[in-house]
Chain A
Amino acid sequence: MSAAKGKFRYISSDRRVLEDRRFVVGKGNFVADIVRPNMKHVAVVFSPHPAARIVNIDASEALKMAGVHYVLTGDELAAATQPMPNGMPTPEVKRYPLAVGQARYVGEWVVAVVADTRALAEDAAEKVKVEYEPLPFVVDGKEAFKKESPPVHPAHGSNILLDKTFVWGDVEGDFAASPRKLSFSQKWGRSSTVPIETFGVIAEWDAWREVLDVWASIQMPKYADQIATAMRLPMNAVRVHQDVDVGGSYGVKRGIKQTVLVCYLSKKLNVPVRLIEDRLDNMRGGDAHGPERNFDVELAFDDNGIIRSMKMDALDNVGAYAGRSPFQLGKPIGAIVGPYKIKSVQYRAMAVTSNKTVQEAVRAFGQSPTNYTIERALDEVAWALNLDRLEVRRRNFIQPHEFPYLIPSGTSYDSGNYPGLVDKVVKQVDLDALYAERDRLRAEGLLAGVGIASCLEPSGGNSAFEPLLNRQNKTTTWMDSCRIAVDALGTVTATMHTTSAGQGHETLVATVVGEALEIDPEKIRISRAHTLDVMPSNSPVGSRMAIMLGGAAFHAANKLKRKMMTIAAHDLGVPLEDLVWDEGTMTSKKNPEQKRTWNEVVLIAHRHFYRMPEDMEPGLTAQHVMQVPNGGKLPTDDDRIQMYPCFSFEFHVVLMSIDPDIGKPVFRRYMIGHDCGTVINPKIVHGMTIGGIAHGIGAALLEEFAYDDEGQLLTQSFMDYLLPSAHEVPKIETVHQVTPSPLTVFGQKGSGESGYLGAPAVISSAVNDALHPLGIKMNSLPLKITKLGDAIAEARAKAGKEMKQ
Chain B
Amino acid sequence: MKLDIGGEERFEASIDRIWSMVNDPAVLQRCIPGCKSMTETGPDQYKIELNLKVASVGGTMEGAIGLSEKTPPSRCRIQVEGAGTLGTGKGDAIFELREEGGQVVMKYEGTGDVGGLVAGVGQRILKGVAKHLIGKFFTAFRGEIQKAAA
Contacts and interface: CB of A to CB of B under 8 A. Distances in A.
A433 B114 CA distance: 53
B85 interface: yes
B37 interface: no
A712 B119 contact: yes
Given A49-B115, A708-B1, A714 B123 contact: yes
A107 B123 CA distance: 15
Contact of B2 (A46, A710, A720): A710
A712 B117 CA distance: 9
B44 interface: no
Contacts of A709: 2
A390 B88 CA distance: 53
Contacts of B85: 126
A793 to B, nearest CB: 21
Q: Most chain-A CB neighbours within 10 Å: which of B1, B113, B120, B121?
A: B120
Contacts of A284: 120
A126 B120 contact: no
Contacts of B117: 48, 280
B87 interface: yes
Interface in B85-109: 85, 87-88
A716 interface: yes
Contacts of B123: 708, 712, 714, 720
A132 B117 CA distance: 16
B83 interface: yes
A624 B121 CA distance: 50
B86 to A, nearest CB: 9
A713 B85 CA distance: 17
- The binding surface of chain A is classed by DSSP as loop
A719 interface: yes
Interface string A687-723: 0000000000000000000001110111011011000
Contacts of A126: 59-60, 85
A709 B3 CA distance: 12
Q: Most chain-B CB neighbours within 10 Å: which of A710, A712, A716, A720?
A: A712
A714 B120 CA distance: 5
A107 B114 CA distance: 14
A218 B114 CA distance: 35
Interface in B11-57: none
Nearest to B119: A712
Interface extent on A, as a size class? Answer: 10 to 19
B110 interface: no
Q: Most chain-B CB neighbours within 10 Å: which of A46, A48, A126, A280?
A: A48
A121 B2 CA distance: 31
A714 B87 contact: no
Interface string B111-150: 0011111011101100000000000000000000000000
A106 B114 CA distance: 12
Contacts of A719: 121, 124
Nearest to B115: A48
A710 B120 contact: no
Interface in B61-100: 83, 85, 87-88
Given A106-B115, A710-B113, A720 B1 contact: no
Contacts of B59: 126
B91 to A, nearest CB: 14
A280 B120 contact: yes
B119 to A, nearest CB: 4
A710 B60 contact: no
Given A49-B88, A710-B1, A716 B124 contact: no
A714 B116 contact: no
Given A49-B88, A280-B120, A720-B123, A712 B1 contact: yes
A717 B115 contact: no
Given A49-B88, A126-B59, A710-B1, A716 B115 contact: no
Given A48-B87, A126-B59, A719-B124, A714 B119 contact: yes
A280 B121 CA distance: 9
B114 to A, nearest CB: 8
Contacts of B120: 106-107, 280, 284, 712-714, 716-717
B49 to A, nearest CB: 13
A48 B83 contact: yes
Nearest to B123: A714
A716 B115 CA distance: 13
Contacts of A714: 1, 119-120, 123
Nearest to A128: B85
Contact of A106 (B2, B113, B116, B121): B116
B121 A716 contact: yes
A717 B117 CA distance: 11
A717 B121 contact: yes
Interface in A105-119: 106-107
Q: Most chain-A CB neighbours within 10 Å: which of B1, B2, B85, B115?
A: B115
A99 B124 CA distance: 29
Contacts of A713: 119-120
A132 to B, nearest CB: 8
Given A48-B87, A106-B120, A720-B124, A712 B60 contact: no
A49 B89 CA distance: 11
Contacts of A716: 120-121
A159 B124 CA distance: 31
Contacts of B116: 46, 48-49, 106, 712
Contacts of B121: 280, 716-717, 719-720
Contacts of B60: 126
A712 B60 CA distance: 20
Nearest to A284: B120
A289 to B, nearest CB: 14
A714 B119 CA distance: 6
Contacts of B1: 708, 710, 712, 714
Interface in A707-744: 708-710, 712-714, 716-717, 719-720
Contacts of A107: 120
Given A126-B59, A126-B60, A126-B85, A710 B115 contact: yes
Contacts of A48: 83, 87-88, 115-117, 119
A126 B83 CA distance: 11
A372 B85 CA distance: 41
A104 to B, nearest CB: 14
Contacts of B83: 48, 132
Contacts of B87: 48
Interface in A39-65: 46, 48-49
A713 B117 CA distance: 9
A280 B83 CA distance: 19
30 contacts: A48-B87, A48-B88, A48-B119, A49-B88, A49-B115, A49-B116, A106-B115, A106-B119, A107-B120, A126-B85, A280-B120, A280-B121, A284-B120, A708-B1, A709-B2, A710-B115, A710-B119, A712-B1, A712-B115, A712-B120, A713-B119, A713-B120, A714-B1, A714-B120, A716-B120, A716-B121, A717-B120, A717-B121, A720-B123, A720-B124
Interface of A: 46, 48-49, 106-107, 126, 132, 280, 284, 708-710, 712-714, 716-717, 719-720
Q: Which 4 A-B pairs have the closest CB atoms?
A: A48-B116, A712-B119, A716-B120, A126-B85
Given A132-B83, A712-B116, 5 more contacts: A48-B119, A712-B114, A713-B119, A720-B121, A720-B123
